[in-house]
Structure 1
Amino acid sequence: MSDSGVSMLLGHASAQMLWLWFIGAFVLGGALVYGVMKAGHLRRSERARLDRATEERQRQEDPYKRPT
């Protein structure tokens, strides 16, 4: 009898599924943290290009808007 406490309560297959849920949650959490960290930082040149593109798009959508 090599069942652990969790296996005895839930059954062998259920204990394996529980571990898979924990591993999946850990991997998903890591992917989300990586995405948030990567998306939050732009280099100076990227930020400037994004700002110019935003201003150009605003001028296209509202040609009477005064330039800042």
Structure 2
Amino acid sequence: MGDSGIGMLLGHLSANLLWLWFIGAFVLGGVLVYGVMKAGRLRRSERAQLDRNTEARQRQEDPYNRAT
């Protein structure tokens, strides 16, 4: 009669796997939040360079459609 709660309902192995799922989801969420925060920040010079590169690529792919 040592089982109680989730352990009694799911068994010891299932309860351990459930905790691993929660821990894994927490870690994955943290990694995603970190990635979104880092990817969302561009310095002004980086943004300008990105815009210039995008315009150059568009001109290269479609030279008849000149951007204004």
TM-score after normalising by structure 1: 0.86
For 2:6, give the aligned amino acid: V
Q: Which runs of 5+ in 1 are unaligned?
A: none
2:49 is matched with 49
Measured on the aligned residues, the alpha-carbon RMSD in Å equals: 1.4
For 1:62, give the aligned amino acid: D
2:29 is matched with 29
TM-score after normalising by structure 2: 0.86
Kindly report which structure 2 residues correspond to 1:1-68, keeping only aligned pairs within 5 A, or say none.
Answer: 2-68=2-68
Aligned pair count reads 68
% identical aligned pairs: 81
